[in-house]
Structure 1
Amino acid sequence: MRFSALPLLALAGLTAAQNKATISLPKSGTSIAPGEVFDFQYNTMADYGVTSYNYTVWLFTSGLPSSFAPSLNWADGHFFGRFSEPNYPGNNDPTNLPPATLTMPNFDKSPGGFGAGLAEANQNCAFVVMEEYATGVGSFGLRISLTSNTIIYNATSS
């Protein structure tokens, strides 16, 4: 009987990829004031048999969208940036390292142009990370993970 390790290596990649992506900071339920600098830490999918590439960080102030269907006003929120962390073998030296802190936008101020701000208090928002990654199992394009925590924007009471 001839034994091939290739299927086992492929399964190892899938096993390692399960439930790895987590937002450590800010923790779910954290209150963050407008303009406040807050700690940020994301644990990527990178592991043995899994390569992490880029991830994007968002704040959805209108809650998580219910679908990815095209829409004139798909969501409200803020884009914090696109980051990447070193991991072997596929992403050894990224140039877009994540910051240790992020700054919460002040949504009651106009972003400029025709934009108008809107003051909100005690608003539940989704702090979201979407990550591109790959395993030893082929995929048509990179795999994408989605994780989120709930934060409270501009809490007025504890």
Structure 2
Amino acid sequence: MEPASFLIKDHSDITRVINYLHTNYQKTDKPLVVHIDQKQEDRSKAQNRLYWLWLSQWSKRQGTDKDSEHLYFKKHLLARIYARDDVGQYKQTFAAVKVLRDQKHPQYQAVADGLNELISTTDASVDQFTEYLNDIHAFCLKHGCYLHTPDDLMYAWGMKL
């Protein structure tokens, strides 16, 4: 039996959970364990959990590791958000690295790679991280991979419940 998470918003969701329990209780000779908790209100923690779950799904499909995909998405998606919104010193730093690229400086690639390592998802606001998650989801979908989102994390990427 696959573990399941349910988000209970109203009475119909309770019925769905009870039906799931009835159905699965009869399929096993082992007892079921039920954990009940309140939805996390700190969206940033939920967003982070969803982010790493999605990176794991995408990297498994790609045959890579989630840390490599983390670097890829930061470079190609998050950096654009930070530059547009002028987050911290990123915009100025990106501009300086662009000058190295335009000058074909021999250290350009090393500097660019080092900067990508330093870009931090923790500098994103909840709204920026929501946009980042939506961009990742769209990117993966465009490349043939639908990223699974557990019910308890649906709200983490801006979906209305």
TM-score range for the pair, normalised by the shorter chain length: under 0.3
Length-normalised TM-score, structure 1: 0.23
Length-normalised TM-score, structure 2: 0.23
Give the structure with the higher percent strand.
1
Give the structure with the higher percent helix.
2
Q: Which structure has the larger Rg over C-alpha atoms?
A: 2
